[in-house]
Chains A and B, each alone.
Chain A
C-alpha cells in the first residue's frame, strides 16, 4: 500500500494535478471570476444525468459518472451559480481529455485541490492538519476536503450541529459512538447548542494530533473554555471554579508549569481527561462515570496503584475549602491564615518600634 514507489507515484500525480489546476485557473479565471453563473450544469447533465454512465479505471474500479440533478440542486454551490466547470476546470468541452487517474482515490486526491480556488484559507489550514500529515506520510486514505464536505453534495457542515459528529464518524466510528453516550454527546443529540462537538475541541481544518504532549498540557484550558464560564455553568448548576482550583492542585501545578515552560515535553501529571474520560465524559453522579464515587478509587489507581480506600478523600481539587466538606482542612487553613498575619504584624510593629527609638536616640545624640 505505501511502498516508496506508490508514494512517489502519488506525489507525482498530486504534482501533475496541481499543475493542471494552475493551468486551468490561469485559463479560466477571467471567465469564472467575473461571472459565477456558468450554466454548464444543464449541458453536463445531459450526459452525466444518466445513472448508467460509468467508466472503468485502470485499477479495475468502476467509476460512476452519474451526477444527480437532485443532489446538485440541494448543494450549496449550484444555487449560487457555481456550476460544474468551476471545479472541473479541465472539462469544459466534449470530448473530454483522457482520464489519467489509476484509481478512484487518486482521482479524489487530485480533484479536491480545486477547493482552494475559492476556499484558500481553510485549504491552507487543512494542509497543516494531521490528516494532511498522514497523507504526506503515504496514507492515501487520509481525508481531503471532499471526504468530509462531500463533492457534488456540499452542504453547510453544521446544519444541524450534530452533522459534524456524523461527518467525523465516517472514519472515527468507535470514538463517535462513545461520544454519543457521553454527557456532551447525549445533549447534542437532544439539540443542546451549548455542548462541544468534535471540532470544538479538535479544531476544524487544522486538526492537530491530540496525542502530543502539547495538546495534553493545553487540554485543561480547552475544557476551561466552557467550564470556567460562570454564566454557562450556572445554567447547568455546575461549579465554574473547577479550573482555577485545579491549577493550584497537585496535578494542576505541574501542568501549569509545563504548559508555561516546557509545553512539548510529555508530563504524566493528570489533566481533566485522565480522570473524567475523553470521549466518554459523563456526569459525576452517573454510575458509569469515571469520577463517580464508586469508581473514583479505581480511577486514581490508574496512576497511584497502591492507593487505599481513604485516598479519594485526599482529592479536594475542585472544591473551595469549606467547613462542611473538609472541616479539618478548614481549621488548619484558618489557623495559618489567622496566625501568619498576626505574628508577622506583631514582628513588624515591634521592629518598627525599635527602629523609631534608634533613630530618635541618634538624632538626640547628634544635637549639641
Chain B
C-alpha cells in the first residue's frame, strides 16, 4: 500500500486484495439469492414470487435455498471479522471504514457542489462517506438479519428464553430490513458503483491513477507524499500473531458452534401429525324400523267354521283392501254371495273340493300380493272341504 516512487499516469493502485474480492463475490451471490428466495416468502402471491417458487420447485425449496445462502453469508461474515481483526491487531492498518467528522464535512461540501455552489467535490480519503455508509449498513443488516433469521429458524428454542412476541417481531424486522437492504443496494450501491462510473476495482483489485484522482484524491495525495514505512520486524510480527491466534481461534470456535446450532439444533419444530377429522365417519343411526305386517290373529278355533263366523271376517280383513267393493277384478269378498260368485275370471271356490278351488291353489302357490298364513289357509281349505257353509 506504500508507494514511494513518483507516480505515472498509467500506474495502478492496489485497492482490494484477492481475499477481499472473493469475500465480495460470495457475499453478493448469497445476498442476491437470499433476496430472491426471501422476498417471495414475504409477498407469496405476487406473480414474480410464483415464478420463483415454480423455478425452484416450491416454497419449501425456496426456504431451503434461503437457509443455505444464509449459512454461506454467515461464513463470509466470519472470514471478514477474522480478516479485519488481523489487519487491526497484526498489521496495524488504519481503521479507514469508520465514519468520522471529515465525512460530515464531505457530505456538506458535496451537497454544495451538487447544488452548484462549489467548484469541485470533496476530496475523499481511502473510503468515501458513501462507501462507509454502505459498509455500516451492511454490518448492521447482517447482524439484524442473522439474529432475526436465527429466531425464525429456531423459534421454539428462542421462546425458551424470550417472550413469544419475539418471533413475530423478528419476522417484522427480518422482512423490513430485507426490503430496506435490497432497495438501498439498488438505489445507492448501483448508482455509485455502476451507473455514475463503473468501478471495477472490486473485481480487478486495482484503480488507475486517473480513477484515484477522481474518486480518492486525498488518499492518492497521502500515498504519494508518504515516506516508505519500514516492514514489521519478524519478532514483532510473531508476537502480534501469537496474540491474534487465540482470539481468532475462540471466535472461530464460537461461530462454528453457532452454525452447528443454527442448522441442527431444532429439527423437531414441526411434526406432521394426522390432521383432519378423526371421528368415525360412518355411524348409522338406529333407524326407525320399516313397517312390518301386523300379526293376524290365529282364527278362533272354537268359533264355528262358517262364512259368517270365521271365514268372512278373515277374508275381509286380510284381502278386503283389494277384494272389496272396488275390486279391480270384480272379485269381492264383501258378501258371501259375491265371494261364491267370483270375479270376471270366474269363481274362486268349488264347494266341497278345496284342491280345485282357485283361491286355495293361488294361496298355496304363493306370490300373491296378500297372503294368508299357513294356519289361515288350512282353515279356509277345511271350510271349503266342508261345503263352504254360510252359517
Contacts and interface: CB of A to CB of B under 8 A. Distances in A.
Contacts of B54: 261
Interface in B291-311: 291-294, 296
Interface residues of B, number: 72
A19 interface: no
Contacts of B284: 170-171, 173
Contacts of A326: 165, 168-169
A304 B113 contact: no
Contact of A310 (B113, B163, B172, B326): B163
A50 interface: yes
Interface in A335-355: 335-337, 339-340, 343-344, 347-348, 351, 353-355
Nearest to B113: A357
A65 B277 contact: no
A178 interface: yes
A211 B275 CA distance: 9
Contacts of A344: 180, 183-184, 187
Interface stretch (A32-40, A52-60, A81-89, A224-232): A52-60
Interface in A305-333: 305-308, 310-316, 321, 326, 328-329, 332-333
Given A279-B277, A302-B273, A340-B176, A314 B159 contact: yes
Interface string A185-226: 000000000000000000000000011000010000000000
B163 A328 contact: yes
Contacts of A51: 291, 293-294
A347 B149 CA distance: 26
B155 interface: yes
Given A172-B283, A326-B165, A256 B293 contact: no
Nearest to B269: A304
B258 interface: no
B114 A50 contact: no
A27 B14 CA distance: 101
B370 A53 contact: yes
A238 interface: no
A253 B164 contact: no
Contact of A46 (B162, B268, B328): B328
A178 B159 CA distance: 35
Nearest to B280: A174
Contacts of B285: 169-171, 173
Interface of A is mostly: helix
Identify which of A66, A94, A313, A358 gathers the most chain B CB atoms within 10 Å of its CB: A313
A356 interface: yes
B378 interface: no
Nearest to B49: A257
A260 interface: yes
Contacts of B59: 253-254, 257-258
Nearest to B272: A268
A314 B165 contact: yes
Interface in A242-257: 250, 253-254, 256-257
Interface of B: 41, 44-45, 50, 53-54, 58-59, 111, 113-116, 155-156, 159-160, 162-169, 171-173, 175-177, 179-180, 183-184, 187-188, 191, 196, 266, 268-273, 275-277, 279-285, 287, 290-294, 296, 318, 321-322, 324, 326, 328, 367, 369-370
23 contacts: A50-B322, A52-B370, A62-B292, A64-B291, A64-B293, A171-B284, A172-B283, A175-B283, A253-B44, A256-B44, A256-B45, A257-B50, A257-B53, A257-B59, A261-B50, A273-B276, A305-B268, A308-B156, A315-B164, A328-B166, A339-B180, A340-B183, A351-B191
Interface of A: 46-47, 49-55, 62, 64-66, 94, 169-175, 178, 210-211, 216, 250, 253-254, 256-258, 260-262, 268, 270, 273-274, 278-279, 302-308, 310-316, 321, 326, 328-329, 332-333, 335-337, 339-340, 343-344, 347-348, 351, 353-358, 360
Given A47-B328, A64-B291, A257-B44, 11 more contacts: A49-B321, A55-B369, A62-B293, A170-B287, A175-B277, A211-B277, A303-B271, A339-B176, A354-B114, A354-B191, A357-B115
